[in-house]
Structure 1
Amino acid sequence: MPTAFSSDRVEFIAHREADGWIEAVAADMAKILNADIAEHGRARMLLSGGTTPAPVYQALAELDVHWDRVEVSLADERWLSPQDRDSNAHLVRESFLQRAEGAHFDPLVRIGKPLPECVYTANLQAQYSLPPSVVALGMGNDGHTCSLFPGSRDLQRALESTLPYAALDATGCPGSNQWPLRITLTPHGLRACRQRLLLLRGKQKLEVLQHALDSNDVQQYPILAAIDQPGPRLRVHWAD
């Protein structure tokens, strides 16, 4: 359990062990989706890639949700084919969609379409869809979330965008690994989400989050773009 973490800018929930963390996050997401299905008849959620949330998606798919009333898309994506094993679309398909029968998936990358057209389509899709009920976010050790990488040449433009999605070139940013070209949610897109969840594991990630809150520098810690938004506070689910 964390020994020192406190902030009135986030809702922080610590879990004692990994299995409890997985079950709690999945249950939280299901509750949010079911509430919007009850109110609006449908719900929409945005998922992130990475190994941390995969077991949560597996558990979520087994819960009692009318998946045929749920639209699924991504918080961000590498400039890769949705069939590429390194794409976020592939991870979501393997960990969630194959188990959640009936859920509709809108990838961010469209095969055969150039990057600007994919971004245009993602923004058009967001414009004519329900506001996302929930977005599941991760955070890198560099303080990035979605594909908002500190030091990237397009970061300021993405932070100032009035559209939900933007293209971003993270060439030279270690956290982007060998996939610098990205499509990412912007702060404008994050603001539209009814509930923002941050899924964290390990003491190092908790320290990064604390440093971000102490710094108030969104250029150095883009995770702040998910924190400093109107509406419900970012809900952080953490386990060691």
Structure 2
Amino acid sequence: MTTQDSYLSHGIGSIRRTAKRDKLYREVNAMSYGTIEFPDNRSKKAEFIRVSPDASINHVKELLFNGWSDSRPSLVISISGGAKEYIMQPKLAKAFRQGLLKVASSTGAWIVTGGSNTGIMKVIGEIVQLKPVSQLRSKPIKLIGIATWGCVTGVDRLDVHGETVRYPKYRGQKKGEAPLEPNHTNFIFVDDGGTKGFGGEIEFRSKLEQSISGMGVKSSREVQQLPSYEMRSNSQTQDASIPVPVVLLVIEGQL
């Protein structure tokens, strides 16, 4: 294949992915969707969608697998914790960071958080951003934030359809809302009609993660035996119905 043929093939593939993604946006009845550009992280743009709490879980899962990604994860790490500032002891912080990056990079895992620039969610974003040089050639880590629409600072600017939005760096935090963490690659906003009330996304996120996992529970040994990123299929369409193990990591208090 010549260089020109390669560029042509890549261009056709990109057009097909965009068409499929737009079709999935329609199927999920997206209330808003587009791309977020952060001032401190312009090289990484985050795609987002806004859905109602009763949106089809299967359609959202299909969007994750075949609209926003070109490869299937071997593992999904769901991280929950408080929004208060975290102070990690240096040794524990180093061990946590190295362990999370090793698992995520070696298995091509996706990480799911609440998406805001506070508490453990901010810590996870910073860990992904500070990826060590030894892992820079590995697959970029997909960091997905699932948040309540009415609790996002500056949410009005995200009420678009297919546009790229500049999301400024907000200083300070008002009660009942929080800014977005800029190292996330994707956001799913759940609009329950409320404003400044956290937790509207919890049930939706739980159902989505259960659907991804097929309600299966994996042992630690099974997680360790997951295939590496290089060993997985690179087919263009990923079967979203095949279960993917989901590991829940709950972090509270100071580490």
TM-score range, shorter chain: 0.3 to 0.5
Larger Rg over CA atoms = 2
- Which one scores higher on RCO, CA 8 angstroms, separation ≥ 6? 2
